[in-house]
Amino acid sequence: MHLRILAGAGLVGLALAQPYPYEFPDCGDGIISSNPVCDRSLPPSERAAAMVEAMNVTEKLANLVRSAQGAARIGLPRYNAWNEALHGVAYAPGLNFPQSPPFNAATSFPMPVLLAAAFDDDLIEKVGVVIGTEARAWANHGYSGLTYWTPNVNTFKDPRWGRGSETPGEDALRVSRYAGAMIRGLEGDKAERRIVATCKHFAGNDFEDWNGVSRHDFDARLTLQDMAEYYLLPFQQCARDSKVGSFMCAYNAVNGVPSCANDYLMGTILREHWNWTETNNYITSDCEAVLDVSANHHYVETNAEGTAICFIRGMDNSCEYESTSDIPGAWNQGLLPEEVIDRALRRTYETLISAGYFDGDSSEYLSLGWADVNTPEAQELALQTVLDGTVLLKNDGTLPLELEEGATLAMVGFWANDSSKIIGGYSGRPPYARTPVWAAQQMGYKVNVATGPILQQNCTNDTWTEAALEAARKSDYILYFGGIDTSAAGETLDRYDIDWPRAQRALLKALSKLNKPLVVVQLGDQLDNTPLLRAEGINSILWTSWPGQDGGPGIMQLITGAKSPAGRLPVTQYPASYVNDIPITEMSLRPTSETPGRTYRWYADAVQPFGYGLHYTEFKPTFAEFPSSISIQELVAGCDNAYPDTCAFPPLTVQVANDGSRTSDYVALVFLAGEYGPAPYPFKTLATYGRLRDIAAGEEATAELAWTFGDVARRDEDGNTVLYPGTYTVLLDEPTVATFEFELTGEAEILDHWPAPPTEE
């Protein structure tokens, strides 16, 4: 057998020294070269079919799992599909970080929830290009596969979710547009995919382990309306519109059927309604999700039965922790037909073919290597994303700090000088992790450093206050770096409260009594900021989630006014009492007599709402003229798209004047409100957005914001996408600074008929 690492001669030995080097099939002079799978003139479907046809049953069964064993007899190497790149190439079972260069570090961007706060799709695509380029460089040199399990496009509907920061926020439109931009960046725009992206977790997966209920045994009860307009909308973007290479089915059940055995989700909706068929794609399970079908959901009696039903109903690859699916048992008991096995393998190999796995030296992306990893341009982009995403939540004029020469800063808190805290979850090894203290020292400021508590809820055994006060007394300004760091526990644990930790509140109270300028820089997920917003001794609050490798320099540039913040909250900031008003397991979005509703669309009493964000300057945004009346029938008659909801609505023009004294970006958020359509709820929903860059003091800027029929339409109780007649109110910004109305006339038009679920399972 002849196997070849796709690498330069100087790197082959380095790759082979690793415990699990990747080997691409040798379509040059190896055994497999005579197989039609190596014939690039054939369509991917025929190439994949030839690969499957060459395998015997034993070999087929061994390649239905993410740690595929290959087939040495025919020159097919083993392959591990589990690679991660949530916000940069990350640690995973299929991906190796050597201890020495060149492939020992990858660019680490902020967590997705902060990337989303920039509200700039072009920026997200650029981030995707960097991540996809570095990921392909890893693969080309034997350190990873070509299939990457990112992005996470579940909506962040509850602030307690431990993995919410992995997502682009709570709004389905924002998550959808993020998904489209990220997939374009990751997979590229050539005939060959740069890497294979994976949209996860399909579907209704948005908590981990809470109050005795686990994602492994939870049944998400979704109405068709909530399903179509919220929980599945980002996945529609992934499948129907972006044609992403891979999906991951989730642990939980949806309406009584485990996601990985759910033919309605994987078949009726994904492959049929969204036409995710002839695009070289496959479905992988989440790890242990197949075992959950029998062991936790009790949908069938045995793991062999559960394994068979998952493959029969559309799953193509089982992610195993050791042996959490029973493929041999399913085959030996006659439960798993060979034609189903062949279908799964064909889909898997078609997807790998789409990324050049069998193309040898002819691969379009073969040239990517170490010189394309963490380039100066990538480093600059990592810094820009911190600057663009960070949100100013409170400011009495203290920020930006006008620091005199020789000014002294007290930098207090658990992450002020701890580089391990700024990277976030699902990460790799960054080339560096620059803290705020490091950045301040590089800028020439004198710094007095003191740590602080993280999650302690009481003040016993206080080892931090005295040192923090001593540092603050010796300084002109106090910068407090607090919040929460749950990134290590996010995969398995959810929160039970959203208060600021009591020990941190006590420390802030003590610091505020010194009557010095006090700026809070908040790490992690949202907390109830009410006590900080009310405290006169706390002058300013910046939220920066987990800001990545250049978190420190980004924050210090914003604090000192070298740059101006313009990010907006991509999630609602709820009062602490919210956790007592609704269980995390409640999936219904709309308020009832017993529950308060979810997200900014349905919850009215936010501490700080979705879309909120302050500036260092004064903006005056207005709408340009827009038609006062539009005929639904004329709109639809002029739409030739295969999916009418994607047709362009008349564009919105926003004009923004900077009446202040500082150059700044401005994020234009456009909401739609009204009472038409599905009764009885009035609504307000994000309809489109755009980021206007570098508007100088005294200058004006104009942006034309695109939106679609689908962005204006609503979903009825059956999940159908409908353009309703009525008077619409268009609102600009949060809080609203400009409005206008227009009327849609004529009869309601259904743009998309949502498929009905089976009457029986």
pLDDT tens digit string along 182-218?
999 999 999 999 999 999 999 999 999 999 999 999 9
Preceding omega of 680 cis (within 30 degrees of 0): yes
CA distance 346 to 46: 9
- pTM of the predicted protein model: 0.95
Cα–Cα nearest to 176, from 687, 595, 557, 736: 687
Question: How far is it, in rounded angstroms, from Cα 240 to Cα 723?
Answer: 20
Dist CA 666 CA 694 (whole Å): 8
Cα within 13 Å of Cα(548), Cβ side: 33
Which helix (H) or strand (E) is 129 found in, with range? helix 121-140
Radius of gyration from C-alpha coordinates of the chain: 26
Q: In this structure, what is the dihedral angle of CA atoms 145, 318, 353, 362, given to the nearest 10 degrees?
A: 20
How far is the C-alpha of 716 from the C-alpha of 753, rounded, in Å? 10
Hunting for tokens 């039965």 — which residue is that? 305
Confidence of residue 681 (pLDDT cuts 50, 70, 90): low
Average pLDDT, the chain: 93
pLDDT given at position 13:
30
Beta strands in 356-416 (DSSP E): 391-395, 408-412
Dmax over CA atoms of the chain, in Å, equals: 79
CA–CA separation, 123 and 292 (whole Å):
38
The dihedral over CA atoms of 212, 215, 216, 222, expressed in degrees to the nearest 10, equals 110
- CA-wise closest residue to 287 among 493, 486, 69, 81: 81
The pairing of beta strand 282-285 with beta strand 219-220: unpaired
- The model's confidence at residue 485, banded by pLDDT at 50, 70 and 90, is confident
- CA-based nearest residue to 652, from 617, 700, 689, 686: 689
Residue 2 has pLDDT above 60, yes or no: no
**Rounded distance, CA 620 to CA 117, Å?**
21
Rounded CA-CA distance 404/224 in Å is 59
Residue 217, Cα to own-chain centre: how many angstroms? 24
Catalytic-role residue among 158, 206, 263, 286: 286
Helix (H) or strand (E) holding 626: none
Percent over 70 (pLDDT), the chain: 95
Q: Does the pLDDT of residue 16 top 70, yes or no?
A: no
Report the residue count for the chain.
Answer: 761
Residue 461 banded pLDDT, cuts 50, 70, 90: confident
Distance of alpha carbon 136 from alpha carbon 146, whole angstroms: 7
Give SS3 for 227: helix
Residue 19 has pLDDT above 50, yes or no: no
Beta bridge partners, 321, equal none
Which burial class, exposed, middle or buried, applies to 522 when counting CB atoms under 10 A from its CB (0-12, 13-18, 19+)?
buried
Contact at 8 Å (CB) between 526 and 571? yes
In three state form, how does the secondary structure of 425-445 look?
CCCCCCCCCCCHHHHHHHCCC
Whether 26 is a known active-site residue: answer: no
Contact yes or no for 146/80 (Cβ under 8 A) = no
What spatial distance separates the first Cα and last Cα of the chain, rounded to whole Å? 47
Mean pLDDT (whole number) for 18-26: 70
Q: What tens digit of pLDDT does each residue of 329-385 get?
A: 999 999 999 999 999 999 999 999 999 999 988 899 999 999 999 999 999 999 999
Distances in whole angstroms, Cα of residue 431 to Cα of each of 118, 374, 419, 439, 441: 24, 8, 12, 16, 19
User: Between 645 and 29, where is the model more confident?
Assistant: 645
Q: What does the alpha-carbon distance between residue 392 and residue 662 come to, in Å, rounded to a whole number?
A: 15
